[in-house]
Structure 1
Amino acid sequence: MASLTGVRGAIYFPARSHNHYQSWAAYDPRVAANDLDYAKRLNLNAVRVVLSYHWWRENRRAFADAFDDFLLRAENRGIRVLPVLFESIGEQPTNARRRPTGDAPALKSPSGATVRRPWRWDGPREFTRWVANRCTDPDVVLALEIMNEPGEYEPRVNFVREMLRVADRAAPAVPLTVGCKDVRLNTQFSDPELDVYQFHMNLPPTEQRARREIRDAVTFARTHGKPVWLTEWQRLRRSPRSKLRPDYASLAPIIRESALDGDFFWQLMLKPAYMRKQREKGRINGLFHADGAVFSAADANALAKLPQSESRGDTVPESVEWTERQKPPKGFDAGGN
């Protein structure tokens, strides 16, 4: 098994996509190449990407071409991919909501009706096997994440347990994980066990609280003999910068000096918030504009800085020359329009 430690990553949706369906239905190889180059400038070695079960069902060939292209481009840059097969967050994935509009919501995958009805799981099982069989190279794929934030809802937990079994049978050597919001929820999954634990800490109120949450998560994971990744983080809630704007510099130093085995910040590309309610308030997340300018040079420097253990004694520049543009993205629409 390839190393599950020393992971430095970001969540990735293209700048013009609101959800997983748009990301893959409007996949553009040139955009992916540029965005992965931006990740490389930050010294990242991983990206966390939500796949689209619904686009795969509609056009398997197009999805396969896009996914294979993305994996190849990431591999060429020394970036490993953490594919997320299913998503619990968002609205029900109706046909209308999958239309390529500029205000499309985050989408569940699969639908709640499918999750609640085990007799409808054949499609998700086939998708899980299909993805697992494509993700066997540890130099390309970091692990398979079965679902983002399944929580404790019993039908969803049972769904994830079944897909873990399917993935384990299809590709036994591929590490498995689940996007748990609370690190303790990882222990819900024991047949098979997870290879790496996750937790989320998007908006801790203070430095003290952030340090405590990280320390507690690391201690819990070590007790169970597992590496642990913080797979969603953004900023301190209490910081001088507007609460509706990114401020990765407020939290990055705490994460870089921690004992975490990996982290993924939310998110690489600058865009309106993932959840429609937060989007309507004017919240934006991310670092890079589509043209490569950054929203905040301070954030970019904080994210790019390597821990001393990774710099191997070399002097790492405190700052890089970034083109800064502290404005929300203009003319947002879906599918690159």
Structure 2
Amino acid sequence: MASLTGVRGAIYFPTRAHNHYQTWAGYDSARAASDLDYANRLNLDAVRVILSYHRWRENRRAFADAFDDFLLHAENRGIRVLPVLFESIGRQPTKARRRATGDAPALKSPAGATVRQPWKWDGPRNFTRWVMNRCTDPDVVLALEIMNEPGEWGPRLSFVREMLRVANEAAPSVPLTVGCKDIRYNKQFSDPEPDVYQFHMNLPPTEKQARREIRDAVTFARAHGKPVWLTEWQRLRRSPRSPLRPNYASLAPIIRQSALDGDFFWQLMLKPAYMRKQRERGRINGLFHDDGAVFSAADATALAQRPEAESRGETEGQSVEWVERQKPPSGFGAGGGN
């Protein structure tokens, strides 16, 4: 099994995609290559990207071409991919919402009716097997995440447990994980257990609380013999910069100094919020504009710094001359962030 430690990553949606369906229905190879070049500039070695079950169902060939192309671009840049099969967050994925352009909502995948009714799981099982068959190279795929934030709802937990079993049978060598919001939710899954524990900590109020949450998560994972990744983080809620704007520099040093085995910040590309309520409040997340300019040079420097460089007294990342442009992404109105 390839290393599951020392992982430095980001969540990836293209700038113009508000949800996973838009990511793959509007996939642009040149844009993806350019965005992954930006990840290289930050010394990242992984990206977490949500796949689209509904896009796969409606046009398997187009989805296959896009997914294979993305994996190739990542491999060529030494970046491993953490694909996420299913998503619990957002609105029901009706055809109208999937086909919406521009300011579209986050979408569940699959629909709630499918999750609630096990006799409708053959489609998700086939999707899981299909993805697993493309994810067996450890130099390309870091691990396979079954679902983002399944929570504690019984039918959804049953669905995730079944897809864990299917994925493990399809490719036993591929590490499996679940996008748990709380570290303790990882223990809801067994036979098989996740190979890596996850937790999310998007907006901790203070530095003290952030350190405590990370320490508790590491202690919990170590007690169960698992590596642990923080797969969503953004900023300290209480800091001088506007609370609706990115401020990765407020949290990055705490994460870099921790005993975490990996982290993924939300998110690589500058864009409006993933969740509609946050978007309407005017929150934005991300670092890079489409043209490679960064929203914040301070954030870029903090994100580019590697712990091993710090321990050697080096200034890797700090010597980069970042082109900074502190304004919301064009064409999206006032909104943006998770």
Q: Secondary structure at the match of 1:177?
A: strand
1:129 partner letter:
R
Match of 1:279? 279
Q: Secondary structure at the match of 2:264?
A: strand
2:181 partner letter:
K
* Unaligned stretches of 5+ residues in structure 2: 334-338
Q: Secondary structure at the match of 1:81?
A: strand
- Pick which of 309-318 and 179-188 moved more: 309-318
- Superposition pairs for residues 52-131 of structure 1, below 5 Å? 52-131=52-131
Q: Deviations over 1:25-83 (max 9, x none)?
A: 00000000000000000000000000000000000000000000000000000000000
- Superposition pairs for residues 7-26 of structure 1, below 5 Å? 7-26=7-26
Match of 1:3? 3
TM-score, normalised on structure 1? 0.97
Match of 1:174? 174
Q: What CA distance in whole angstroms lies between the structure 1 residues aligned with 2:148 and 2:50?
A: 9
Match of 2:156? 156
Match of 2:212? 212
What is the percentage of aligned positions where both structures have the same residue? 84
Match of 1:290? 290
Q: What CA distance in whole angstroms lies between the structure 2 residues aligned with 1:299 and 1:164?
A: 36
Please report how far the alpha carbon of residue 318 of structure 1 lies from its aligned counterpart in structure 2 after TM superposition.
Answer: 2.6
Distance change >3 Å, CA 309–CA 169, structure 1 → 2:
farther
- Pick which of 313-322 and 129-138 moved more: 313-322
Q: Deviations over 1:204-262 (max 9, x none)?
A: 00000000000000000000000000000000000001111000000000000000000
2:161 partner letter:
R
1:84 partner letter:
V
Q: What CA distance in whole angstroms lies between the structure 2 residues aligned with 1:57 and 1:139?
A: 27
Q: What CA distance in whole angstroms lies between the structure 2 residues aligned with 1:249 and 1:273?
A: 19
Aligned length: 333
Match of 1:301? 301
Distance change >3 Å, CA 310–CA 137, structure 1 → 2:
farther
Q: What CA distance in whole angstroms lies between the structure 2 residues aligned with 1:170 and 1:312?
A: 43
- Pick which of 109-118 and 310-319 moved more: 310-319
Q: What CA distance in whole angstroms lies between the structure 1 residues aligned with 2:59 and 2:236?
A: 41
Q: Secondary structure at the match of 2:48?
A: strand
Higher relative CO (CA 8 A, sep ≥ 6), structure 1 or 2? 1
1:229 partner letter:
W
Q: What CA distance in whole angstroms lies between the structure 2 residues aligned with 1:7 and 1:310?
A: 16
Matched, 1:50 2:47: no
Q: What CA distance in whole angstroms lies between the structure 1 residues aligned with 2:143 and 2:28?
A: 24
Structure 1 residue ranges, 4+ long, deviating more than 4 angstroms after superposition: 309-315
- Superposition pairs for residues 257-272 of structure 1, below 5 Å? 257-272=257-272
Q: What CA distance in whole angstroms lies between the structure 2 residues aligned with 1:170 and 1:317?
A: 40
Q: Deviations over 1:258-302 (max 9, x none)?
A: 000000000000000001111011110000001110000000000
Q: What CA distance in whole angstroms lies between the structure 1 residues aligned with 2:7 and 2:74?
A: 14
Q: Deviations over 1:81-131 (max 9, x none)?
A: 000000000000001101141110000000000000000000000000000
2:206 partner letter:
T
Q: Secondary structure at the match of 1:231?
A: strand
Q: What CA distance in whole angstroms lies between the structure 2 residues aligned with 1:285 and 1:108?
A: 21
Match of 2:184? 184
Q: Secondary structure at the match of 1:316?
A: coil
RMSD: 1.2
Q: Deviations over 1:177-202 (max 9, x none)?
A: 00000000001111101100000000
Q: Secondary structure at the match of 2:195?
A: coil
Please report how far the alpha carbon of residue 313 of structure 1 lies from its aligned counterpart in structure 2 after TM superposition.
Answer: 6.4
Please report how far the alpha carbon of residue 5 of structure 1 lies from its aligned counterpart in structure 2 after TM superposition.
Answer: 0.1
Q: What CA distance in whole angstroms lies between the structure 2 residues aligned with 1:194 and 1:247?
A: 31
Q: What CA distance in whole angstroms lies between the structure 1 residues aligned with 2:194 and 2:325?
A: 41
Match of 2:248? 248
Q: What CA distance in whole angstroms lies between the structure 2 residues aligned with 1:52 and 1:311?
A: 40
Q: Secondary structure at the match of 1:63?
A: helix
Q: Secondary structure at the match of 2:231?
A: strand
Please report how far the alpha carbon of residue 331 of structure 1 lies from its aligned counterpart in structure 2 after TM superposition.
Answer: 1.3
2:308 partner letter:
Q
Distance change >3 Å, CA 309–CA 318, structure 1 → 2:
closer
* Unaligned stretches of 5+ residues in structure 1: none
> 2:89, 2:108 within 8 Å by CA — same for their partners in 1?
yes
